[in-house]
Amino acid sequence: MSHKIVIALGGNALGNNLPEQMIAVKKTAKAIVDLIEEGNEVVIAHGNGPQVGMLQNAMTLLTRSDPEKYIPCPLSVCVAMSQGYIGYDLQNALREELLDRGIKKDCATVLTQVEVDPSDPAFENPTKPIGAFMTKEEAEHLIRERDYQVVEDAGRGYRRVVASPKPVAIVEIDTIRSLVESDHIVVACGGGGIPVFKTDGHHLKGAAAVIDKDFAAERLAEQLEADWLIILTAVEKVAVHFGKPDEEWLSNLTPVKAREYIEAGEFAPGSMLPKVEAAVRFAESGENRTALITLLEKARDGIAGKTGTLIHL
């Protein structure tokens, strides 16, 4: 039986730089095409943590080298850039893998804006680190020159932090839906989407923020009325008491039980917590909706109920 599936790719599926990404997407494409070969409709969202930081650093160096010629590049524009070049590699890897298997399907990347609420509390308390580590002197310079918010990170240096608001709506959802209905494989909501909010008239203004890709993928899955949300990560299953003698790997969770574990602080913020929260939201969003958290190479087995953590009503 075929399903409509939204996949959220983690950073481990894309590598940390351009050469790594070229290698990583080939492995990623094989696992995704395994699902397509079984007749499933697939839409792909992805993270962009290392990539957007790399772009921000490059733009910063240009600005420092010639401030009269180069102006600071807004974070929303860097997210858009990362969507373009990650999507370029992904869709080409998918096309190659599909043709190697004799499957004729088109793949398209949609430059995706995601609306956020300017009154979201996240804007009052930025916590999402982006970019490379800096010295104290470099951090102080950015605080003075650009009013950046910076935090010290576990003795490794200083990093800029930005808001991570929740997604409200996907601006290009009708375009994405039309492509899916015409049998295209779609790459969308890259890096959580370009965060925008409504201003006067019909203008959408970019926000200095990064949307968590798992929450963006969940919103995308809801709006597309998908059957499955697959959140791919670096472990085969979700665990409680992680790293302790009584560590327990979970195969099935109800949203109620998952919320109990969340309230007990079982999942690390910025790591497994947003994945579980996004999975719970999707499972609760409608009938016969299932979220799966697992490894990239285990996605097909996870849908078959053989592995991974399934969250459903």
pLDDT, tens only, 177-229? 999 999 999 999 999 999 999 998 889 999 989 999 999 999 999 999 999 99
Average pLDDT in the chain = 90
Distance CA 307, CA 178 (A): 32
Judge contact between 272 and 238, C-beta under 8 A. yes
Strands (E), 125-278: 128-134, 150-152, 158-162, 167-170, 185-187, 194-198, 204-206, 228-233, 238-240, 248-250, 252-253
Of 2, 3, 10, nearest to 275 by C-alpha is 10
Which residue out of 192, 275, 298, 308 is catalytically annotated?
Answer: 275
**Of the residues 4, 11, 27, 57, which is catalytic?**
11
> Within the chain, how many helices (H) and strands (E) appear?
9, 17
Task: Answer whether residue 55 shows pLDDT above 80.
Answer: no
Residue 4 is among the residues annotated as catalytic for this protein:
no
How many residues are given for the chain? 313
Catalytic residue list contains 27: no
Active site residue: 4, 12, 27, 157, which one? 12
Q: Which of 10, 47, 87, 128 is catalytic?
A: 128
Catalytic residue flag (residue 275): yes
The residue ranking higher by pLDDT, 30 or 152, is 30
**How far is it, in rounded angstroms, from Cα 254 to Cα 241?**
18
What's the pLDDT at 37? Answer: 95
CB atoms under 10 Å from CB of 242, counted, come to 15
For residues 179 and 183, what is the distance between their CA atoms, to the nearest angstrom? 7
8 A C-beta contact, residue 302 and residue 294: yes
Separation between Cα atoms, residue 82 and residue 85, nearest integer Å: 5
Q: Is the pLDDT of residue 115 over 80?
A: yes
